[in-house]
A = this chain, B = another copy of it.
Amino acid sequence: MREQQMLDAAVRTFGRRGYMAASMDEIAELAGVSKPLVYLYLNSKEDLFTACIRREADALTRAVRAGVRPDLPADRRLWDGLLAFFAHTGEHPDAWSVLHLQARTHGEPFAAEVAAMRTEIVAFVTGLVVVAAREAHSDPDLPEDEVAGLAEALVGAAESLAAWANATPGVTARQAAATLMNFAWAGLGDLMRGNRWTPPPEAPQGRGEPRA
């Protein structure tokens, strides 16, 4: 109970003031406990920050999973997942700041904690895209590389949009989810129906060579 209060205060402080500027004094005061108690529970600022990242990463992945009902069609699952994601990041802007910004801008071991969460979310989205492709029948052989790329694109788009939505007054979770769904599903939907966009013939200057 006390630990949750301290973590609440820490997430708020780290999210608003940044990892470097946040002080243990401030966190203890906001939590209404003494500073030695914070250290007793959570050892150091680094450990406290790591505990915040773990708790919030877990809460976010659980919120997204809980939003998605496996018995619904693929587009509905994607919509529900996006809505749950934007609702959670919008309702917990400090937590999202910790995960998306703070945890990635202060080196290891924090970046690795967030990378693990991201891997889990990409795997979850990859599963959604694979099921969508299976449901669509017309293109069951969407190459594995392309599915992985689509999932990375979708997760990157969602991360970017969540930061933008939180920074833009008046944008609701529903609007952010609808923007991305319009972007993603109409695109994925066409792709699943086998309607590909056709690139122009390869340019002569050798762009698009295999990478070193």
Query: Cβ of A156: which chain B residues have Cβ within 8 Å of it?
Result: 156-161
Type the 1/0 row for A154-174, where 1 means its CB is closer than 8 Å to any CB of B. 111111110111101111111
How many A residues have CB within 8 A of the partner chain?
Answer: 73
CB distance from A96 to the nearest CB of B (A): 11
Query: Cβ of A204: which chain B residues have Cβ within 8 Å of it?
Result: none
- Measured CB to CB, the nearest residue on chain B to A205 is B87
Given A76-B200, A185-B197, A191-B182, A209 contacting B160 (CB threshold 8 A): no
Cα separation A149 to B91 with both chains bound (whole Å): 19
Q: Say if the beta carbon of A52 comes within 8 Å of chain B.
A: no
Q: Say if the beta carbon of A146 comes within 8 Å of chain B.
A: yes
Cα separation A177 to B195 with both chains bound (whole Å): 16
Q: Say if the beta carbon of A210 comes within 8 Å of chain B.
A: yes
A211 in contact with B165 (CB, 8 Å): yes
Q: Say if the beta carbon of A25 comes within 8 Å of chain B.
A: no
Query: Cβ of A189: which chain B residues have Cβ within 8 Å of it?
Result: 186, 190, 197
Residues of A116-158 whose CB lies within 8 A of B: 145-146, 148-150, 152-158
Query: Cβ of A186: which chain B residues have Cβ within 8 Å of it?
Result: 186-191, 195-197
Checking B163, B168, B188 against A183 with a beta-carbon cut-off of 8 angstroms, the contacting residue is B188
CB distance from A207 to the nearest CB of B (A): 5
CB distance from A178 to the nearest CB of B (A): 6
Query: Cβ of A158: which chain B residues have Cβ within 8 Å of it?
Result: 153, 156
Q: List 10 A-B contacts (CB under 8 A).
A: A76-B200, A79-B200, A149-B179, A153-B180, A169-B211, A170-B211, A172-B211, A182-B191, A182-B196, A185-B197
Q: Give A residues with C-beta under 8 Å from B.
A: 18-20, 75-76, 79, 83-84, 87, 90-91, 93, 104-107, 111, 145-146, 148-150, 152-161, 163-166, 168-191, 195-197, 199-200, 202-203, 207-212
Taking A18-B107, A79-B199 as given, write out 9 further A-B residue pairs in contact, using a Cβ cutoff of 8 Å, ordered by the A residue number: A79-B197, A145-B175, A149-B164, A149-B179, A152-B161, A153-B161, A153-B179, A177-B208, A189-B190
